[in-house]
Amino acid sequence: SGFNSIGHMDTMSRGRHQIGHYKEGEEFIQNVFHVLSQIFTGKEKSNLAICWLQYEISKVIQCLQVKKKKKLKAQGRKSKKLAKNFLKAPDNRNNLSLWKLYAYLEWLLGNTDDSRKVFDTALCTAGTGGLKSAQLCSLSLLYAQLEVELLESIEGAVMSRAVHILTKLTENGPYVPYSGQVLPVNVLKARKTYEHALQDYLSKTAVSDQDQVNDTDQLVNLVGCYALFQYLTVGIDAAVLIYTQASEKLEVSGSQKCENTGEDFGILNFPTALE
């Protein structure tokens, strides 16, 4: 159930005892992060920053779960300072994964408007990769998912900020923040773009194991965006259909690949990832 008192485990309840962050374990982890940050450079250092911020966010979530307001406020300040320092580094200024985590952090802390500003800033500076960018899809999906949590019902959701985010993702142009409306014609165009993009990915054949990994990430984000888009603009049945189509297609493709080559290249992991 854990690594004794050293290290971090997700919050679990065992009677009246809380399994979480002990002082010795926390000091050890922070020392490791600091030492590695002095050793790593480039991509490795950016990846370390992502892991570090994810760890800090896990502590914010833990504070929310146990409802410790004072500890949450202190941890929130510390995590925000760390996130801002990471994003000031030249190598991280365009790192969408870090921007996404920072925006999510603000959301968890209840700073909805600040979170939206971070999300919008990231999307505006992200370029025009659209559905072909796994990071952009992931960023847009989280933003839309968080916005959906604020909806009282899905009636009229087609005009919501969430639909705006998912629609703009398909346009391959500069992102424009939500202004309060979504044009019906843009929704129709977005649906066709999602449909074509999904069919293109389902018909692709990975050349290498690395291509397989990259395609897995991209497909999971694409299906997530498309399914949420359909849920908000059509209904739950349309969203379920997207997951079903992707899962069935990939299960068949994975079985055929294994039969033809006698090897398992991980395609069967696609449905698991989609779940």
Answer with the residue of higher pLDDT: 48 or 2.
Answer: 48
Question: What whole-number percentage of the chain has pLDDT above 70?
Answer: 80
Same domain, 167 and 205: yes
Same domain, 132 and 268: yes
**Amino acid letter, residue 256:** Q
Long-range contacts of 247-255 (CB under 8 A, 24+ apart): 247/271, 247/274, 247/275, 249/202, 250/202, 250/219, 250/274, 253/202
Give the span between the Cα atoms of 45 and 236, in whole angstroms: 41
pLDDT higher than 50, residue 123: yes
Scanning the structure block, which residue is given the tokens 């500069």? 174
| pLDDT reported for residue 206 | 55
Give the span between the Cα atoms of 193 and 204, in whole angstroms: 17
Same domain, 119 and 181: no
Count: domains in the chain: 2
pLDDT higher than 80, residue 111: yes
Same domain, 275 and 145: yes
| Each residue's pLDDT tens digit, 184-224 | 999 999 999 999 999 998 887 655 555 665 677 888 999 99
* Over residues 37-56, mean pLDDT: 95
Same domain, 176 and 227: yes
| pLDDT reported for residue 15 | 44
| pLDDT reported for residue 78 | 96
Last residue of one domain, picked from the residues 93, 125, 157: 125
Same domain, 23 and 156: no
Strand partners, 55: none
Give this prediction's pTM: 0.83
Same domain, 256 and 151: yes
The stretches of the chain forming alpha helices (DSSP H) are 23-39, 42-66, 69-88, 96-108, 112-125, 134-149, 161-169, 184-202, 209-233, 236-261, 269-274
pLDDT higher than 50, residue 140: yes
Same domain, 110 and 211: no
| pLDDT reported for residue 122 | 96
Q: Give the domain range for residue 77.
A: 1-125
Last residue of one domain, picked from the residues 79, 95, 125: 125
Give the span between the Cα atoms of 76 and 108, in whole angstroms: 9
Same domain, 76 and 19: yes
| pLDDT reported for residue 175 | 95
Give the span between the Cα atoms of 175 and 30, in whole angstroms: 37
Same domain, 254 and 143: yes
Q: Do residues 270 and 219 lie in contact, with contact meaning Cβ atoms separated by under 8 Å? A: yes
Same domain, 13 and 55: yes
Last residue of one domain, picked from the residues 85, 107, 125: 125
Same domain, 11 and 102: yes
